[in-house]
Amino acid sequence: MIRLFDIVFSLLGLVCAFPVLLLLTIIGLFDTGSPIFRQVRVGRHQKPFTLVKFRTMKVDTAHVASHLASASSITRFGHFLRRTKLDELPQLWNVLKGEMSLVGPRPGLFNQEELTAERARRGVYDARPGITGLAQVNEIDMSTPQLLAETDQKMIQSLTVKDYFRYILMTVAGKGSGDRVKS
């Protein structure tokens, strides 16, 4: 049932948000010269997939978890995209392709070994990674790998259709702040 919701809502989102996606892409061209950010992440069953987002940091920023990146790497337009969560919109393509869900554990990087090991131990990789979820709406990010893996496990074990919509609505309403960045 959740996969059906993912397909319908990601397709509707991509179609309805197309003018916004186009506008943000054009503005991003002027901001960084490379508005789309692609990064290989850990997916379902620990298989790699390429996540797409709008770029919020300078092009030469190291590929590390957000909490390890410097705040000075974020562009002015990037601050706007992160604050409004519009940087996540291109991930609707990942959802439509079946690499992600709208709700699930945020996909980590392969170099986040502690987080990957905790999630593997807890069966978190049995689920598709998501754009939002229980950890995100409670401002738990990848800087606390054990707590994040525990929260992801709890969400996966108890996720209902009601929770699915609740986490999406909470995210759209501005609950949660995304991954922290070093000051």
The answer to the question of residue 182 being in a domain is: no
The answer to the question of residue 165 being in a domain is: yes
Exposed/middle/buried for 8, CB within 10 Å: 0-12, 13-18, 19+?
exposed
The answer to the question of residue 120 being in a domain is: yes
Q: Enter the pTM of the model.
A: 0.88
Q: Is the Cα torsion angle 177, 62, 23, 49 positive or negative in sign?
A: negative
- Write the pLDDT tens digit of every residue in 110-151: 999 999 999 999 999 999 999 999 999 999 988 899 999 999
**Count of domains forming the chain:** 1
The answer to the question of residue 137 being in a domain is: yes
The answer to the question of residue 124 being in a domain is: yes
What is the residue range of 67's domain? 1-173
The answer to the question of residue 178 being in a domain is: no
The answer to the question of residue 181 being in a domain is: no
DSSP letter, residue 35:
-
Closest by Cα among 70, 66, 62, 93 to 82 = 66
The answer to the question of residue 183 being in a domain is: no
